[in-house]
């Protein structure tokens, strides 16, 4: 039995570990099989079969296997990190291999990957005694131990634990263990892929010791008792339903610890009964769909009452308070930023009316001056980020609340926006210049919305949000109706929330959120700096970053200096080797490839069809991609994760919107330009 088999032919019982714990080698064999394919379906099959096997033989190792496959060891909001850099890796690898630090540096220049460096240095080393084989559980437990180390001598302590793991590694285990240490696994098993594999695994295999209560009827049952007796259509329906269930659960409760525990103890159909919206666990926020044509909005949704809100230039935040009045604040990317806002923590009990004992609300935190005038986002970023003391705060903030997802032990996700908003306004007290509701209007009048949009810009906002208050009538076509639901839909971007920003309306929608992925060495005055920078958009279907343009405009000298320092060999985030998930034409040969770690906002003059750049390739032209002409850097989007960058689909939509008023030929780029 091999994990790269079709899941319908794979039988986990045929793999035998003689009752022992899951060998780390089994996980690594899966990673090797995955790296040999570019097919996302094949990757999912490999992960599914791996998880099914562990579920069948060693259920306790399922959770460690999931974490080790997902390039993490804990939920992001818990802030648990390995903290392994080049210093620790160099000390550990030189110690176990005998290779000098100079040799390792040469290997890194050659390969650009710490896993390949460790493999090249140690693979030929022989030990006097055969080390005890590693298990998945042992590796994961050691990683957790590493993450907990603090204080004096922490570098040596971490180095010793890494050394012990490397000594026990054989063959490919060395490569992938080292990649996991630096969180660069390179197997394409990101969030969506892991969730789908987990759903498929527990749809097809249960732990042998699971106690099943009252059986579900066939209509509601997702578990497949016997694949051979299931029709292909029925099987696909169940697998898709399981995927949908896992994604819905993870959007509300993004914590594999709880999800895997539930799957091991209860049938998959019961997942949402145990893992659901919970105070203290950030849900993935609902997102607004970008619109660049207010006229089209009015045409499509004629007769539907809109709620229009100011879109403030601040930081989106989820504020949680439990029954003990413990306040936790999470960012848009689910990072815990409670320590950054002690003034918010102090304020929250003051806004709760007597009948509020727990809640989760969605809001925008905005910087203000002493007179209460809102400031731009850049001002907010000047606040200290960690362990902030109340006495040290010089930049006050204002909370603008716009949604309520949980109240007094009850999830409000399925309630309409009107119901959620009424509860928000009834249960929380406004405090001028500290906590208020977003400025809003309810209207059907296009002229009134245009005027409101203009006022928002004059007030210093980014634009407005247009939201539908009430669920649409049942006589609408189902697909249209599902896009207009007014429930709070975590981790989804649907048409019932529309984002209208000044940038989108002013021109061709030339504001893009992109990821810097590579650079060339600068010339002349810019010698010693990175210039130009290769930028990319995100393709969520292929889970790749597609090159879209080079940028060398809009940067200050100070930014150039910071950029050269930020992307450097000292920080282990540049290499000579292109990442497998960078979709960039071979004709583009930058001097260094970057780790994708941040999002930039840029503007340009036109979106053009390009024979060189692969952004949105196949969506406008079967063989060419899209590029942005005359790109100019605007700012770093600290509030966004790299997977929140502009997508291939969004870029193609921008292009088609642009050519409505001009000829297609105007946007064909004859040759690559800077």
Helix axes 256-265, 232-252, angle to 10 degrees: 140
> In the structure encoding, which two tokens stand for residue 508, read together?
């061709």
* pLDDT at 667 exceeding the cut of 80: no
Answer with the residue of higher pLDDT: 447 or 466.
466
Cα atoms found within 13 Å of the Cα of residue 73, Cβ hemisphere only: 23
pLDDT digits (tens, 9 = 90+) for 151-209: 899 999 999 999 999 999 999 999 999 999 987 766 655 678 899 999 999 999 988 77
267-306 residues labelled b (16+ CB within 10 A) or e (exposed): bbbebeeebbbbeebbbbbbbbebbbebeebbeebeebeb
Q: Is 619 left (phi over 0), alpha (psi -120 to 50) or beta?
A: alpha
* pLDDT at 510 exceeding the cut of 60: no
Is residue 475 very low, low, confident or very high in pLDDT (cuts 50, 70, 90)? low
* pLDDT at 668 exceeding the cut of 60: no
* pLDDT at 350 exceeding the cut of 80: yes
Q: Which active-site residues does the annotation give? A: 311
* Residue that has been written with the tokens 């000390």 in this structure: 91
Residue 183 has what pLDDT? 79
Mean pLDDT value across the chain? 88
Q: Are the beta carbons of 42 and 196 closer than 8 angstroms?
A: no
* pLDDT at 217 exceeding the cut of 80: no
Q: What is the rounded distance in angstroms from the CA atom of residue 320 to the CA atom of residue 202?
A: 32
- What structural domains and CATH numbers belong to the chain? 1-71+186-276 (1.10.3260.10), 86-181 (1.10.3260.10), 287-505 (3.30.470.30), 512-667 (2.40.50.140)
* pLDDT at 290 exceeding the cut of 90: no
Answer with the residue of higher pLDDT: 412 or 220.
412
Answer with the residue of higher pLDDT: 300 or 326.
326
Residue 203 has what pLDDT? 93
Neighbours of 529 (CB within 10 A): 18
Residue 481 has what pLDDT? 62
Is residue 496 very low, low, confident or very high in pLDDT (cuts 50, 70, 90)? confident
Residue 505 has what pLDDT? 56
Q: Are the beta carbons of 438 and 402 closer than 8 angstroms?
A: yes
| Coil/strand/helix, residue 167 | helix
Q: What is the rounded distance in angstroms from the CA atom of residue 118 to the CA atom of residue 92?
A: 10
Q: What is the rounded distance in angstroms from the CA atom of residue 577 to the CA atom of residue 163?
A: 26
Residue 663 has what pLDDT? 43
* Residue that has been written with the tokens 């145990």 in this structure: 274
Give the DSSP H/E element, type plus range, for residue 464: strand 463-468
Residue 414, Cα to own-chain centre: how many angstroms? 24
Instruction: Report the pLDDT averaged over residues 450-474.
Output: 87
* pLDDT at 80 exceeding the cut of 80: yes
Q: How do strand 600-603 and strand 625-629 relate by DSSP bridges?
A: unpaired
Low-confidence winner among 177-186, 348-357, 462-471, 499-508 (lowest mean pLDDT): 499-508
* pLDDT at 508 exceeding the cut of 60: no
* pLDDT at 423 exceeding the cut of 80: yes
Residue 666 has what pLDDT? 45
Residue 546 has what pLDDT? 96
Residue 604 has what pLDDT? 85
Is residue 67 very low, low, confident or very high in pLDDT (cuts 50, 70, 90)? very high
Q: Is 545 left (phi over 0), alpha (psi -120 to 50) or beta?
A: beta
Q: Are the beta carbons of 472 and 479 closer than 8 angstroms?
A: no
* pLDDT at 406 exceeding the cut of 90: yes
Is residue 447 very low, low, confident or very high in pLDDT (cuts 50, 70, 90)? confident
Q: What is the rounded distance in angstroms from the CA atom of residue 161 to the CA atom of residue 171?
A: 19
Residue 606 has what pLDDT? 82
Q: Does pTM surpass 0.75? A: yes
Give the DSSP H/E element, type plus range, for residue 465: strand 463-468
Q: What is the rounded distance in angstroms from the CA atom of residue 207 to the CA atom of residue 263?
A: 9
Is residue 570 very low, low, confident or very high in pLDDT (cuts 50, 70, 90)? confident
Q: What is the rounded distance in angstroms from the CA atom of residue 352 to the CA atom of residue 325?
A: 10
> In the structure encoding, which two tokens stand for residue 298, read together?
């009015």
Residue 214 has what pLDDT? 63
pLDDT digits (tens, 9 = 90+) for 651-663: 998 888 777 655 4
Give the DSSP H/E element, type plus range, for residue 403: strand 397-407
Residue 511 has what pLDDT? 79
> In the structure encoding, which two tokens stand for residue 377, read together?
């986002």
Residue 572 has what pLDDT? 79
> In the structure encoding, which two tokens stand for residue 512, read together?
């893009």
Kindly give, in sequence order, each residue whose CB lies less than 8 Å from that of residue 476, ignoring residues fewer than 6 positions away.
484
Low-confidence winner among 73-77, 201-205, 374-378, 612-616 (lowest mean pLDDT): 374-378
Low-confidence winner among 63-67, 87-91, 120-124 (lowest mean pLDDT): 120-124
Low-confidence winner among 214-228, 263-277, 513-527, 621-635 (lowest mean pLDDT): 214-228
Query: Please, which residues bridge with residue 574 across strands?
Result: 594
> In the structure encoding, which two tokens stand for residue 586, read together?
């071979």
Cα atoms found within 13 Å of the Cα of residue 431, Cβ hemisphere only: 14
* Residue that has been written with the tokens 């898709």 in this structure: 240
DSSP E strands: which ranges in 488-642?
A: 493-501, 512-521, 530-539, 544-551, 574-575, 582-583, 592-594, 600-603, 606-610, 625-629, 632-636
Give the DSSP H/E element, type plus range, for residue 566: helix 557-566
């Amino acid at each position: 039995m091999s994990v790269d088999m079709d899941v319908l032919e794979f039988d986990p019982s045929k793999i035998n570990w003689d009752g022992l714990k899951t060998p780390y080698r089994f996980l690594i064999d899966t990673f090797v099989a995955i790296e040999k394919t570019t097919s996302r379906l094949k990757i999912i099959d490999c992960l599914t079969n791996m998880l099914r096997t562990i579920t069948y033989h060693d259920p306790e190792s399922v959770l460690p296997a999931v974490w080790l496959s997902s390039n993490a060891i804990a939920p992001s909001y818990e802030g648990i990190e390995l903290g392994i850099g080049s210093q620790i890796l160099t000390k550990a690898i030189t110690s176990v291999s005998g290779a000098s630090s100079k040799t390792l540096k040469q290997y890194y220049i050659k390969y650009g990957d710490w896993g390949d460096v460790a493999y090249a240095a140690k693979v030929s080393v022989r030990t006097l005694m055969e080390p005890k084989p590693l298990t998945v559980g042992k590796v994961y437990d050691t990683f957790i131990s590493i993450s907990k180390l603090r204080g004096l001598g922490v570098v040596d302590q971490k180095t010793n634990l890494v050394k012990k793991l490397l000594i026990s590694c054989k063959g490919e285990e060395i490569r992938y263990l080292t990649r996991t240490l630096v969180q660069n696994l390179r197997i394409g098993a990101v969030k969506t892929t892991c969730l789908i594999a987990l759903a498929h695994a527990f749809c097809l295999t249960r732990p042998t010791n699971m106690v099943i209560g009252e059986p579900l009827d066939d209509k509601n049952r997702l578990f497949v008792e016997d694949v051979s007796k299931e029709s292909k259509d029925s099987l696909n329906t169940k697998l898709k339903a399981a995927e949908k269930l896992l994604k819905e659960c993870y959007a509300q409760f993004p914590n594999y610890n709880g999800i895997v525990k539930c799957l091991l103890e209860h049938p998959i159909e019961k997942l949402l009964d145990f893992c659901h919206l919970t105070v203290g666990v950030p849900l993935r926020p609902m997102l607004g769909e970008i619109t660049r044509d207010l006229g089209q909005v009015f045409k499509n949704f004629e007769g539907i009452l809109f709620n229009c809100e100011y879109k403030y230039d601040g930081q989106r935040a989820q504020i949680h308070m439990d029954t003990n009045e413990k306040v936790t604040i999470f960012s848009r990317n689910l990072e815990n930023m409670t320590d950054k806002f002690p003034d918010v923590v102090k304020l929250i009990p003051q806004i709760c009316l007597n009948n509020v004992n727990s809640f989760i609300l969605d809001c925008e935190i905005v910087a203000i001056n002493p007179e209460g005038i809102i400031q731009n986002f850049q001002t907010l970023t000047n606040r200290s980020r960690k362990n902030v003391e109340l006495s040290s705060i010089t930049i006050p903030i204002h909370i603008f609340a716009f949604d309520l997802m949980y109240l007094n032990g009850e999830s409000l996700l399925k309630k309409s926006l009107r119901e959620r908003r009424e509860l928000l306004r009834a249960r929380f007290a406004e405090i001028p210049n500290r906590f208020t509701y977003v400025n809003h209007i309810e209207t059907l009048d296009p002229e009134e919305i245009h005027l409101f949009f203009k006022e928002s810009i004059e007030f210093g906002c980014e634009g407005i949000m247009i939201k539908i208050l009430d669920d649409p009538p049942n006589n609408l076509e189902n697909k249209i109706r599902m896009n207009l639901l007014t429930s709070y839909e975590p981790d989804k971007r649907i048409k019932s929330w529309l984002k209208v920003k000044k940038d989108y309306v002013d021109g061709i929608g030339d504001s893009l959120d992109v990821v810097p992925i590579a650079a060339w060495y600068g010339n002349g005055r810019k010698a010693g700096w990175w210039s130009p920078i290769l930028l990319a958009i995100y393709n969520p279907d292929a889970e790749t970053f597609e090159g879209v343009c080079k940028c060398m405009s809009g940067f200050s000298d100070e930014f150039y200096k910071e950029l050269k320092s930020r992307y450097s060999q000292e920080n282990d985030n540049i290499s000579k080797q292109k990442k497998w998930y960078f979709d960039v034409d071979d004709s583009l040969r930058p001097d260094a490839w970057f780790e994708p770690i941040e999002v930039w906002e840029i503007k340009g003059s036109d979106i053009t069809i390009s024979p060189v750049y692969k952004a949105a390739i196949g969506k406008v032209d079967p063989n060419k991609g899209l590029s942005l002409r005359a790109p100019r850097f605007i700012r770093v989007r600290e509030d966004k994760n790299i997977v929140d960058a502009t997508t291939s689909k969004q870029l193609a939509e921008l292009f088609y919107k642009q050519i409505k008023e001009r000829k297609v030929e105007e946007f064909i780029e004859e040759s690559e330009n800077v």
